[in-house]
Structure 1
Amino acid sequence: MTDDWRSYPFHLVPGDESLQFPAAEGEHPDQESDTWFIAGQLDAPDTGRSFAFLTIFNKNRPGGSVVADFYTMALFDLDTGEYGTYTDYDMPPASIQPGAEPKLAAATGYLDLVYRSDAGAVSWTTCRDEAGELLPYTYRVSLVGTDQAGQSMELDLSVTPTRAPTPLGASTYNGKIACFGQDDTYSYFQTGMVMTGRLRWGARSERVRGTAGHVDRQWFPKYAGGGTGEPPRTRSHEWRTINFDNGVDMSIWRQFHRADGNALQRFTGITTSHPNSAKPPECAEDFEVTVDSYVRWPDSIRPLIRPPTSARYLPDGHRITCAALGLDIVGEPLVPAPAHGLPIEYMEGPYRYRGSLAGQPVSAFAFNERSLALYRDWELVDVLATELPDVADELRPLVSSGRRAEAAELLTKLRPGQQALAATIIDDLVTALSES
């Protein structure tokens, strides 16, 4: 076994065979859920335009045998704020019909994925040299999809991370974390991307290249969509991967228990990756996220599992502070309301951060993923607080004490003359109060 991560085999965490490469990149047949994720920013040198992309290959075997997979692709136009998203499912009842073959084929022992979507075959594979040997962490990514407007999307990339894989939680957790209620979940990420290729989207065709992005992996002992016996929306999360202009990268996780007042759950923490390989990754668990705006889930994107109500709000603009890292940054979306058609509410898109890190000014490109969809009356009071804080302060004791009719009456009186967003939140909150 070698200590040089650029060669296979490589042990990311000594003594833990689950994080031996290249096997960690491949399928884990003994795990019910396996997720492969890659995202990044892409610049078009011929036109000066800027894009971003993400893709998810998700293998699920609830109970060990039922096929419940999906593939997602999205493109983002960072100049116009437009985005396109596509998800293809391989789910029951179609996936359990006699003779049905899984759309996803995944190799064990190394990364080689092929998914037969309705828009065409897609793949993410490890490249090989002339002798047929694997080229470590060197990938070919070929994606296709059809966006909400019916336009075709294609992305062909050569991808090479230039930084070693980082175990989530650094040496504190060594990549073995609690995630969605499962203590034995494994996760790592890899940054320092070199990406080149071609993007096609409708009538556009652009040569693209980029360096800001990441690969992310998780695998779960049980089905991540409810294999622990909990309803699928019992646990929610926020996950940000941030690429700072000083070379530092961060993965920031927060998890919430929806049946326990959205209480924070393990693993919640920041994991850092540094450009200087001599500086090991760090884990910081004492940090704050302050949300200053929310965005309403767009009606045009429908989750696979029927939502509890039509009005759901997800965190949007926010501030992150961490004294241990000297971190104080503010994040704003580059694309508004980037919702995707996953089994439950899932919003992810590119962000820009500005602020300070270790006492120095920084800016960053990032992806912000969240599934914390707020719809209950007391949650919508928090949403309203970002627009009308004094009104929210007046509402909280009414709602917490069960005086919902009084709360609705107060809101109805305040509704005339409000700005559009505040008025919409008020309408949604009045509806939630009447249904509680």
Structure 2
Amino acid sequence: MNSTRSKVPTDEIASLRLRLEEAEETLRAIRAGEVDALMGTGRQGKKVFSLAGAEHAYRMLIEAMHEGALTLTTDKMILYANQCFARMVKCPLEQVTGGSFRRFLSAADGATLRAHMKQAAQTGVKIQLLLHAADGSKLPVQISIRPLANEGGKNKIIGMVVTDLTESRRTEEMLRALTQRVVQVQEAERGQVALELHDNITQLLCAILVRSQTLADQLSTHDSPAQQEALKLRDLLGHTAEEVECITRNLRPGVLELLGLDAVLRAASTEFTSRTGVVVTLTGVALAARLPPDTELALYRILQEALKNVQKHAHAQQVSVHLARLGNTVQLLIKDDGVGFNTERQPAKRKGSSRLGLLGMHERAAYVGGTLTVKSVRRSGTEIEVRILLPSGNPAVN
């Protein structure tokens, strides 16, 4: 018996022991409920690594995050929070864990979160709201909510990643201020160009037009070809003068400053119909009093851009424009019966200038404290609605 045991090679014994250890490790992981695991090969051969063995590393990673991380029950009790979240709400971590997440929200934001929690428990959502810190300060954040686990099929666990939006909001405000400054400079330059066109180019063209008419009158009827050329030159100069005058009005409409928004909307609609053949119908444009100058200019520019998009992309036959005063709010509604587009995913041919046009309209509205919404469906037309809240105490100017 002893002689038989001695014949077993030492290397084989070592291999068998290694395999036995691997089997025991696998059994231990199974008994402990550690289902998630991986098999790795190192210097000492293959070995089972369970995710539970990496728990410490995961916790270190979460604690090192520059974002808040939490796990909650569906009734918003905090089971776990990292130090970053505790710093966000300016509250000791031991006072955060075990408490309710609702205490860091306003009633309105709490209702918003409650409305999204059911969906979050299934697929996950992202929402933006304000965290109310322990010292009374408010922090704008984005919360990403995902379902994490289902303990025993009864208690669902929700995971949250909380991102501080303070710097992002500050950047947005700086960009918006820069955009507003660009709009101001742009309008000033447009006014200057319009003035130079009117005072210089238009007057020169009119003078040349008069001279060409004089030349045509002086030419003998016997010199009919030369007279015909002079008349053609006169007509061409007249058409050029009209185009320059139209450009001047678009750059800085004097009608807007003198007669107000009603008149300039009618003039722009009439000019667009005569130039493109697309019928523009105006309704509800009679306002009892003048709006603030910046508001009137913003609405006029938005209509200009919308009509430009209709001409370039919509292939519409009719456009309706509705301007109304609703209390302290002015509304501009522009609808067309064109081909429409997918607002979520614009076709390639609509990229570029058209996207910049929509962005410009949004910024124009935001510049005067308004909002702009675009609704469009393929082959069902497009609707653009602008709502601008007028200043309280001085809602309009006479």
Task: Give the TM-score taking structure 1 as reference length.
Answer: 0.20
Pair member with larger Rg = 2
Task: Give the TM-score taking structure 2 as reference length.
Answer: 0.21
Give the strand-richer structure, 1 or 2.
1
